[in-house]
Amino acid sequence: MASDPYDIKFTIASTDYGFMLVSPEGMSKQLSVAEVGVPEVARVSNASGATHQDFDPRFDTPFSMDSFDAGSGQALFDNFDENAVWWAPGVVTHVEGKAYLAPPVSSLALTSATTQVNGFYTYTTSAGARYDFCWSGTRLYRRDAANKTNPWGVAYTHASQNVTDFTVFNAKGVIAVAGDTSTADFLNVTANLTSGTMTTSAANHTPFSSGTKPKFFKAIRGTLYALVDNSKVFYTVDPTIDGWIGPIETTVGAGDPKVGDGTYAFTNVVAASDYIFTFSYDAGYNIDSEQNVSEIFAQWKDKPATTNFDHVAVNSLDSTLIFGAGNEVYTYDPQTGATAPMGLSKQSGFSVQNILGVAAGNQFAYVLATVRVATINSASSVALFRCYKMRGARWGFEVLWEDTAVTETYYNLAAVPFGLGTRLYWGQVLSGTASINCMDIPADWDETSSGSYAASGVLYTSISRAMFPGFVKRHLWLSYETDGTIDGNNYIRADYSTNNGATWTPLTSTGAGSASTLVTRGDYTAVASRSIALRFVFVSGGAVTPQLRVFDHHQRVRFKYLQSIMAAVRVADGIEKNNGARDVRSKATLRADLLTLRTSDATITYTDFLGNSFPCTIDMVTYSPTRHHVPNKTLNVYELEAQIAITRADDGD
């Protein structure tokens, strides 16, 4: 035995301290091996989501969700929002009590387009016909937006320069080509606005005779504003005639008020709540109806970047501005002047690397971004977020679409009306060919009756941890309630991961399904781990969406085996050891050894004749004399008996 020739032995560094246990007549060695008690469950974790059930080995720890409306972005389950998930690409989660597949995505070609789509525009005729426009390179494209399938056609092509903006003002198109070096300052569409190749008339107007041409147009209050790099804003009520007023200067010293900076070119312009907002790499300006300019976004003055204000949209629901800066999306309320980040970049479940597009519809904001979902994805992906306001200032994010094998270059996102719903366009370039992705989003808050869904989606739950690395939980079973899992083509499969999402193992599936609400159960076989995450794979035939309503996973904590030992050891002269030899240590030495052990801060290794061996602490040493009746002997009638409390001091077995 490891403690030879003693019953128990302690070792500090290489020094052994052996002891013999008390063995009263007719009794066994006085050694009691128990377990360290279960900790006070109220104190075992400071996790806000932890309950006593998490750490009571007699009860299952439920890991359950009946709503997913806090959306994606939460890597760990217990600490934050019980309705949030880690990542759910292609799955809609904003509806309380259910998760289902997102609408499908289709792609439309852009004839002859080879570079990124630089902008979108939508126009509804007085007759109610809708036309959507986008521009890529020298071409302006147009499609009849009556459906999702009408192709994009080339409506206008400039001879050499890129189209920088297009808008319709007073039912007439205006095309900006800022790089045009000819006398054409911009182009008025005089015919074929909605069909065929546009007929244009080159404008040669006085304000632009210096050579700097309008880059962007924005119409508001019956007035068309033209932005001319780097700081001039002209306006007119009829762009077909040379009647421009201005400029409104956003440059310091060039007019009143002197607030702006002319270092950087304009990057964007929007109109919201009776204001014109212009943007450059370092700031954003508000131009009111009195042509007063105020610098409302000054936070980036010392941080100019091409990613600042690259994408701007107006949320129709509350007239807030939404814009990307760096890897975050911000909202700005013109009424209160409050600017706040959406929180997209501060998610534990994913990281935003680059904002590729921002858009807003009547109900939601949308963000196209390059993201990295660590562990789940091995590389960066491009995701289309649908963002919705939650309680307080929080935003929820659901991932309508994700490209996990990115070979394309995605850029620009637009949300245009589609009936009462919203149509999303986002551009891509693959191998020198540009195209437009399109997703039609119903106006229904709950879209499960829309009848058109993506073929698949995956919902990764947050990771439910055992909280302490030394703990494991044994996983028992999982059940989940579904609707729409009607057959083998419309099902939800449940997988699990015990390594933080690195690998996944199928557990069970709704299989052949049922037309009714279905409860599916899967039992784990010998699965124990420090954490678990679940993955629900939604598969649809396209017309029906499987809906996940509730799942409950049951696990039970397994505490590490930590021995707590009470030992009574002999303290006397000449004690006989297990091998018959007598201990040369005196009673005083044994007492001193016990004191050394009790007060040592070093690592103490405990071994005993039972085979136990582990680091320990000596928590208590008490003494009591014991009398041994020995006839005709007068010496050493008394011994000391020391009671030692020993507790294992490592992570246990």
Partner 1 sequence: MAVTFNIPVDELDVAQLIADGFTSLTLWYADEPDGVYQDSGVTPDPATLAAAVTAEDYEFEFSYSGGSPSQWFKVRAKQGISYSDIYLSSPFTGGSGVTLAYLRRRLGKMLGDMAVITTTASADANTATCTGFEVKRWPDNYFNGQFIYRPATDEDAIIDSSTQSTGALNFSPDNGTTVGSGVVLEITKRWTHSEYNEAINWACVAAYPVLSRPIVNTGLLTIADTMVYTAPQDILTITSVEIESKFQPDSTDPAVRGRPWSQVPFAPLNEGLNVKFELNWPEMEDQRLRVCGTGYLSQMAEDTDSTECLQHNADLLLAKAAERLFSLMSMNAASSDRDFYIEQESRFKSLYLESKPSQRSKRSAQRRWGADARAQGGGRAPYDPRRDGRAP
Contacting positions for partner 1 (CB under 8 A): 1-2, 4-5, 22-23, 25, 570, 572-577, 579-584, 626-628, 630, 633, 635-639
Q: Which residues are bridge partners to 330 per DSSP?
A: 323, 341
Q: Compare residues 148 and 577 and give the one whose CB is closer to partner 1.
A: 577
Give the shortest CB-571-to-partner 1 separation in angstroms. Answer: 9
Give the shortest CB-582-to-partner 1 separation in angstroms. Answer: 7
Token pair in block for residue 223: 């007035």
Give the shortest CB-23-to-partner 1 separation in angstroms. Answer: 8
Residues comprising the chain, all counted: 653
593, containing H or E segment: helix 587-599
Q: Compare residues 215 and 585 and give the one whose CB is closer to partner 1.
A: 585
Side-chain-side CA neighbours of 580 within 13 Å: the count stands at: 0
Q: Compare residues 499 and 586 and give the one whose CB is closer to partner 1.
A: 586
Q: What gap in Å lies between CA 51 and CA 203, rounded to an integer?
A: 71
Q: Compare residues 58 and 627 and give the one whose CB is closer to partner 1.
A: 627
Q: Compare residues 533 and 575 and give the one whose CB is closer to partner 1.
A: 575
Greatest alpha-carbon span in the chain: 133
Q: Compare residues 327 and 626 and give the one whose CB is closer to partner 1.
A: 626
Residue (of 436, 349, 327, 331) closest to 399 by Cα position: 349
Taking CA atoms, 431 is separated from 265, 317, 409, 428, 560, in Å, by 30, 38, 9, 10, 56
- Collapse the DSSP code of 520 into the 3-class scheme (helix H, G, I; strand E, B; otherwise coil) and give the result: strand
Give the shortest CB-607-to-partner 1 separation in angstroms. Answer: 10
Q: Compare residues 2 and 41 and give the one whose CB is closer to partner 1.
A: 2
Residue (of 520, 516, 512, 517) closest to 488 by Cα position: 512
Residue (of 440, 460, 459) closest to 450 by Cα position: 440
Give the shortest CB-19-to-partner 1 separation in angstroms. Answer: 12
Q: How many CB atoms sit inside 10 A of residue 290's CB? A: 6
Q: What gap in Å lies between CA 411 and CA 354, rounded to an integer?
A: 10
Give the shortest CB-634-to-partner 1 separation in angstroms. Answer: 11
Token pair in block for residue 353: 């690397």
Residue (of 364, 507, 376, 446) closest to 100 by Cα position: 446
| Sign of the alpha-carbon dihedral angle for 469, 473, 475, 480 | negative
Give the shortest CB-567-to-partner 1 separation in angstroms. Answer: 15
Give the shortest CB-25-to-partner 1 separation in angstroms. Answer: 7
Give the shortest CB-624-to-partner 1 separation in angstroms. Answer: 13
Q: What gap in Å lies between CA 456 and CA 547, rounded to an integer?
A: 12
Token pair in block for residue 418: 């589609």
Q: Compare residues 204 and 624 and give the one whose CB is closer to partner 1.
A: 624
Give the shortest CB-465-to-partner 1 separation in angstroms. Answer: 41
Residue (of 651, 111, 46) closest to 434 by Cα position: 111
Distance spanning both ends of the chain, measured CA to CA: 20
Q: Compare residues 43 and 633 and give the one whose CB is closer to partner 1.
A: 633
Q: Compare residues 5 and 262 and give the one whose CB is closer to partner 1.
A: 5
